[in-house]
Amino acid sequence: MSDTYRRIALARRPEGAPRAEDFALKTDPLPALEDGHILVRTEWLSLDPYMRGRMDDAKSYAEPVALGGTITGQGVGTVLASKAEGFAEGDTVTGMTGWADHAVLPGTECRKLDPGTPPSAMLGVLGMPGFTGWRGLHEYGRPKAGETLVVGAATGPVGSMVGQLARLAGLRTIAIAGGAEKCRIATETFGFDAAIDHRAHDDARALRAAIAEAAPDGVDIYWENVGGKLLEAVLPLMNTHGRIPLCGAVAWYGGVDSDTDRLPMAWRSILVKRLSVNGFIIFDHWDHYPAFLRDVAPKVAAGEITYLEDVAEGLENAPEAFMAMLKGGNVGKQVVRI
């Protein structure tokens, strides 16, 4: 066993798309194996788009990688030495090894692979990406048989999980992918009902027309991990009460100018802050009106909830009052006495 290890360090923070000079291969002494830890020889390393975000020095949902630090990543490997309960030399485990051929990790943050699991599958279909698709689809997509699903980056490990789960649940599934070959894979390998090559469509309008043709009943779930042109194409095709699980924005990872384009700024906030944005129209909710009156009418009567009214006089003055209201000319609830 060598007493050094090799790792890929962040040499420079990328501007836009990463370049070779942003990375550096380093050889360093292996850290000591402390109690509760295991030494793992990494055999498989996962590469995932989220890592691009960690390379920026921006506040996000996780700490950025330090300059000179090892780039974050999940690996699968073999335990070479263990001082952690439940792990023994020779075990196959997964954990956050980073981009490194060895890692010393706390046993509590590692997981032994179930027998028969292909090691690399633990990084994809049975790992974080597959789990992302499964959890997000059930928790936020809420698929129902007969509905239509559109998935960006559909041949990727997240998108292909989402598409297959939705197909198994009886949805019509539409893949968006880059290039004819990925489209072929989407339908032939992953069983999507249709696949659309976003590169074959110059702008959101053209892409929208292609999606509309493949989704004659509109779109109920848009699995959003792309942003950009695709988001703009799909939004107007959404059906009422549609759901948009939002777990990535690859098109905007290279940085955007939020002064000139406010959509990415907003979308990034929803993602990074895990916001829940719910459009609603009260006319869908009238069945709850009696409950409202039971709750609030006594509070109004008791003065716990107060209200203001602006009263305009006469039907003929309704337009003027309405126009003033839209400009903020009123204070309370605007009514007209007729």
Instruction: Give the count of beta carbons closer than 10 Å to the beta carbon of residue 237.
Output: 17
Number of residues that bind a second copy (CB under 8 A): 140
Q: Is 278 in the site for a second copy (CB under 8 A)?
A: yes
Q: How far apart are CA 176 and CA 159, in angstroms?
A: 9
Q: How far apart are CA 242 and CA 279, in angstroms?
A: 10
Q: Nearer Cβ to a second copy, position 89 or 199?
A: 199
CB of 33 to a second copy, least distance (A): 20
CB of 276 to a second copy, least distance (A): 5
Between vectors from CA 131 to CA 125 and to CA 134, what angle results, nearest 5°?
105
Q: Nearer Cβ to a second copy, position 91 or 134?
A: 134
Instruction: With CA atoms as reference, report the closest residue to 191 among 212, 218, 216, 161.
Output: 161
Q: Nearer Cβ to a second copy, position 32 or 301?
A: 301
Residues 143-202 that bind a second copy (CB under 8 A): 155-157, 160-161, 164-165, 168, 178-179, 181-182, 185, 189-190
List 114, 216, 257, 302, residue binding a second copy (CB under 8 A): 114
DSSP code per residue over 184-214: HHHHHTT--SEEEEGGG-SSHHHHHHHHHHH
Write out the two tokens for 146.
């007969």
Write out the two tokens for 266.
């907003």
CB of 84 to a second copy, least distance (A): 19
Q: Is 292 in the site for a second copy (CB under 8 A)?
A: yes
CB of 45 to a second copy, least distance (A): 4
Q: Is 1 in the site for a second copy (CB under 8 A)?
A: no
CB of 255 to a second copy, least distance (A): 12
DSSP code per residue over 85-139: TT--TT-EEEE---SBSEEEEEGGG-EEPPTT--GGGGGTTTSHHHHHHHHHIII
Instruction: With CA atoms as reference, report the closest residue to 211 among 146, 150, 141.
Output: 150
Q: Is 68 in the site for a second copy (CB under 8 A)?
A: no
Q: Is 92 in the site for a second copy (CB under 8 A)?
A: no
Residues 3-62 that bind a second copy (CB under 8 A): 6-8, 17-20, 22-23, 25, 42-49, 51-52, 61-62
Q: Is 238 in the site for a second copy (CB under 8 A)?
A: yes
Contact (Cβ atoms closer than 8 angstroms) between residue 8 and residue 24:
yes
Q: Nearer Cβ to a second copy, position 34 or 61?
A: 61
| Residues 299-318 as x/- pattern, contact with a second copy by CB under 8 A | xxx--xxxxxx-xx--xx-x
Q: Where are the beta strands (DSSP E) in 61-133?
A: 75-82, 92-95, 102-106, 111-112
Q: Is 269 in the site for a second copy (CB under 8 A)?
A: yes
* Amino acid letter for position 276: S
CB of 234 to a second copy, least distance (A): 9
DSSP state of 264: H
